[in-house]
């Protein structure tokens, strides 16, 4: 069996359809969410506030006026992410409840994906001092991404049995990193050679943002054609407004969550450590540019390295899970994450080698911890509520992950430095690790009424 071939018990057509949605949305996650948009939006906001783009030698300290509040341009992108996560926390459970009642689940997933891709394409128009447009498009893109992932994650349970999910989830994440690597490599070439191409650096960045939207939208057609629709397990008839009914079902699910205490404990643990992961990802390019003084080309090259290493890291974590169990493998990854944020605090400015070394460490654990968390949670979900529970997984993530970006933004605004902000994120990994150590996976799988896998 090849590294990326489908497990024997999984339909190959659906395996490729599932895996290639990770490939599709990673173009947006990497180019827009991780590398280019946060520092670009910061520069646009600085231009609006100060009339110039801030540098390490001449920073911009003039605040933006937003509804009477003075916001630092350097913190704007993180505040936008904070708002997006809070809105997602309210919206995604409705998406999940609707998806569990739909016979055309893949259409719902792809519809959100194509809407988010359109928002990403429109980022090509963000320039000058139009930071408001950039903030709005980032909000729409992130909301659509989260909504599509709610449905996408639930499809994992449809196509893979308990013993195949770690492999399928890990290999799909690996495809995502490979796709993100290829698109980012193209964008690196465009941004690096912008003079030779007759483009300004800002124009090159905007074209790269456009490419991410096109990538996401075009490759979403593959899962749309290869995944199969299935009749919903929740078969109670829909009466009246489906959105209103979905809110009612969400309320019932939250009330019954105490029936599954292990599932709830795992979810809480995940919310903490994933908050740390997502915040590190979202702030890394801004930290590298504004605190360490690296050019955009260096940041893209570093993320390329992370993507390349993460491709193998995700596959390796799948193998570790088969040998040591999913829970123990995730816990080992969290220890590495704590060491990473400590190293980030100590990184010297304008020295590339230590920065690249940290990128390698991030790549090793990045996809593996997230892929295995997804497959582990799938084992703890009661039958028929896959999308609804994954909406709690995604919405809960967004309902708490605003804490990471908020803390990072506030600490920067108070101290004027990103260094104390980056090391503060270690607390999220520590709390998540402590809670995860108390999760009894075997008990949780039994309580949910699911088949026990060979190893957990």
- Mean pLDDT score of the chain, rounded to an integer? 85
- Residue 244 has a pLDDT of 61
Structure tokens at 319: 């193998």
117 HSE (CA, 13 A, CB side): 23
Q: Could you tell me if 326 and 452 are in contact, meaning their C-beta atoms sit under 8 angstroms apart? A: no
Q: Which 8-state DSSP code applies to residue 73? A: G
User: Over its length of 456 residues, how does the chain's per-residue pLDDT go in tens digits?
Assistant: 456 666 666 778 898 999 999 999 999 988 888 778 888 888 888 888 788 877 767 888 888 877 777 888 877 887 887 788 778 777 887 888 888 888 888 999 999 999 999 999 999 999 888 889 999 999 999 999 999 999 999 999 888 888 888 889 999 989 998 998 999 889 888 988 999 999 998 899 999 999 999 999 999 999 999 999 888 775 454 455 555 655 565 566 677 677 899 999 999 999 899 888 888 877 887 788 878 888 877 887 887 888 889 889 888 998 899 889 999 999 999 999 999 999 988 888 888 888 888 889 998 898 889 889 999 999 999 887 788 788 878 766 665 556 777 778 787 778 877 888 888 888 899 999 999 999 999 999 999 888 888 888
**Distance separating alpha carbons of residues 62 and 391, to the nearest angstrom:** 39
**Distance separating alpha carbons of residues 307 and 301, to the nearest angstrom:** 10
- Residue 8 has a pLDDT of 60
Q: How far is CA 356 from CA 92, 194, 294, 351, in A?
A: 36, 24, 12, 9
> Can 10-232 and 248-451 be said to share one CATH topology?
yes
Return the CATH superfamily for domain 248-451.
Answer: MFS general substrate transporter like domains (1.20.1250.20)
**Distance separating alpha carbons of residues 403 and 396, to the nearest angstrom:** 12
- Residue 70 has a pLDDT of 82
Q: Which 8-state DSSP code applies to residue 34? A: I
Render 323-387 in DSSP notation, one character per residue: HH-HHHHHHHHHHHHHHHHHHHHHPPTT-HHHHHHHHHHHHHHHHHHHHHHHHHHHTTSPTT-HH
- Residue 1 has a pLDDT of 46
- Residue 419 has a pLDDT of 85
Render 259-310 in DSSP notation, one character per residue: G-HHHHHHHHHHHHHHHHHHHHHHHHHHIIIIIT---HHHHHHHHHHHHHHH
**Distance separating alpha carbons of residues 112 and 143, to the nearest angstrom:** 9
Q: Where are the domains of the chain?
A: 10-232, 248-451
Return the CATH superfamily for domain 10-232.
Answer: MFS general substrate transporter like domains (1.20.1250.20)
Q: How far is CA 442 from CA 1, 230, 370, in A?
A: 29, 28, 20
- Residue 301 has a pLDDT of 80
**Distance separating alpha carbons of residues 187 and 37, to the nearest angstrom:** 13
- Residue 237 has a pLDDT of 47
| Contacts of residue 189, Cβ cutoff 8 Å, sequence gap at least 6 | none
Neighbour-count burial of 52, counting CB atoms closer than 10 A to its CB (0-12 exposed, 13-18 middle, 19+ buried): exposed
**Distance separating alpha carbons of residues 52 and 39, to the nearest angstrom:** 14
Structure tokens at 421: 């902000």
Coil, strand, or helix at residue 214? helix
Report the candidate in 42, 356, 26 with the shortest Cα–Cα distance to residue 172. Answer: 26
């Amino acid at each position: 069996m090849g590294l990326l071939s489908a497990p024997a018990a999984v339909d190959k057509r659906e395996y490729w359809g599932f895996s290639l949605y990770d490939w599709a949305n990673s173009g947006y996650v990497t180019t827009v969410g991780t590398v280019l948009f946060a520092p670009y939006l910061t520069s646009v906001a600085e231009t609006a506030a100060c009339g110039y783009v801030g540098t390490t030698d001449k920073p911009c300290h003039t605040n933006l006026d937003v509804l009477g509040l003075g916001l630092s341009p350097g913190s704007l992108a993180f505040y936008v992410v904070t708002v997006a996560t809070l809105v997602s926390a309210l919206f995604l459970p409705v998406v999940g409840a609707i998806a569990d009642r739909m016979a055309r689940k893949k259409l719902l997933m792809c519809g959100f994906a194509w809407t988010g891709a359109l928002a990403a394409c429109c980022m090509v128009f963000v320039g000058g001092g139009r930071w408001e447009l950039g903030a709005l498009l980032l909000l729409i893109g992130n909301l659509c991404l989260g909504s599509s992932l709610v449905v996408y994650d639930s499809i994992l349970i449809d196509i893979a049995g308990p013993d195949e999910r770690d492999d399928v989830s890990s290999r799909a994440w690996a495809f995502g990193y490979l796709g993100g690597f290829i698109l980012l490599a193209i964008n690196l070439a465009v941004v690096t050679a912008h003079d030779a191409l007759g483009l300004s650096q800002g124009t090159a960045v905007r074209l790269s943002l456009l490419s991410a939207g096109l990538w996401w939208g075009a490759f979403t057609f593959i899962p749309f054609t290869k995944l199969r629709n299935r009749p919903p397990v929740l078969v109670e008839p829909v009466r009246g407004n489906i959105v209103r009914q979905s809110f009612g079902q969400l309320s019932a699910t939250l009330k019954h969550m105490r029936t599954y205490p292990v599932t709830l404990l795992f979810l809480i643990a995940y919310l903490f450590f994933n908050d740390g992961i997502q915040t590190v990802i979202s702030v890394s390019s801004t930290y590298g540019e504004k605190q360490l003084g690296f050019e955009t080309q260096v940041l893209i090259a570093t993320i390329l390295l992370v993507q390349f290493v993460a491709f193998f890291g995700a596959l390796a974590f799948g193998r570790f899970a088969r040998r040591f169990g999913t829970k123990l493998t995730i816990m080992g990854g969290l220890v590495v994450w704590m060491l990473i944020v400590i190293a980030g605090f100590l990184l010297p400015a304008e020295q590339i080698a230590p920065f690249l070394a940290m990128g390698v460490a991030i790549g090793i654990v990045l996809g593996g911890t997230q892929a295995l968390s997804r497959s582990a949670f799938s084992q703890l979900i009661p039958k028929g509520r896959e999308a609804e529970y994954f909406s709690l997984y995604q919405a809960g993530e967004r309902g708490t992950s605003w804490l990471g970006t908020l803390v990072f933004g506030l600490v920067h605004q108070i101290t004027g430095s990103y260094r104390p902000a980056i090391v503060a994120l270690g607390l999220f990994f520590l709390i998540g690790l402590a809670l995860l150590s108390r999760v009894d996976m075997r008990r949780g799988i039994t309580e949910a009424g699911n088949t026990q896998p060979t190893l957990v």
